[in-house]
Amino acid sequence: MTRRHESPAEHAVPGRFAGQTVIVTGSTRGIGAGVAERFAAEGANVVVSGRTAAAGEAVAERISESNRGADEQRADDAPLTGDATFVRADMRDPDDVAALVEAAAERYDSVDVLVNNAGVQTETTAAEATLDDWSFVLETDFRAYWLAARAALEHMDRGAIVNVSSNHAYATMPAHFPYNAVKAGINGMTRSLAVDFGPQIRVNTVVPGWVEVERTRDELPKGRLEEVESIHPTGRIGTVADVAGAVSFLASEDAAFVTGSALLVDGGRGAVMQDDTLPDYRARERSE
């Protein structure tokens, strides 16, 4: 199978978020950067955030340059893409979380969408994990989601929050604690926020499965990526663009009646009960 490496902006809906402000936490690389790119391509002013200033500023500049080029190619003078700026924030620090939201509101006069994406993990079992591991993961991947949502609520007349979870919320592997427990908790938090923030704010979760980002490529030994792809009904693992499209949908008016939900974006992997009963989906597609 030919693996897709499309830009997250490739299937963008022009003007979908025109004039809106979107905060994407943990967006200096990977899924977060792709989500920021997608929203900016759809007209939003995007606040990129993370702990590393050089990486975050590079993402914001790349988005801005790309969008300037796209708008220059248009026949009329009305830009359909948005601006991007970087605000440094360590999501473990409650003051940084509050300052991030304030900076977004001050720069763009509103906050319309919050994407909680920042995340870390430790390669520890439940027996091995320390209190420091626990604090590191929960403060970044869980507490920060709540703090950012609460801060954003003060600036949102109407809008949407999209929390990024993981398929570890449903099924997991050894030595992923407390990351896997937190991801299940995020789905529960989404339901709580949807009930408490409605009807003003819709809150949903995107639950990615295997996604080809730098960390995935680095962690898989040679040949293992092809093996993993072969056990997905789609015949491949996900791309950043796949996740970005799902996030954009849940934040848009196309999902106006969707709140408190968790959207599994995993290429059908969650539908599989037992690997040894599967065909090689990559080989099947090549033969058709």
Q: Which residue has the tokens 């914001």?
A: 60
- 223-262 as b/e: b if 16+ CB within 10 A: eebeebbbbbbbbbbbbbbbbbbbbbbbbbeebeebbbbb
Cα of first residue to Cα of last residue in the chain, in angstroms, is 12
Choosing from 108, 145, 179, 281, the catalytic residue is 179
Is residue 179 part of the annotated active site? The answer reads yes
CA–CA separation, 36 and 9 (whole Å): 9
How many other C-beta atoms lie within 10 A of the C-beta of residue 209?
22
Q: Which residue has the tokens 């989500």?
A: 35
Give the contacts of 25 (CB within 8 A, at least 6 positions apart). Answer: 32, 49, 50, 89, 91, 100, 114, 115, 116, 117, 118, 144, 148
Which residues participate in catalysis according to the annotation?
179
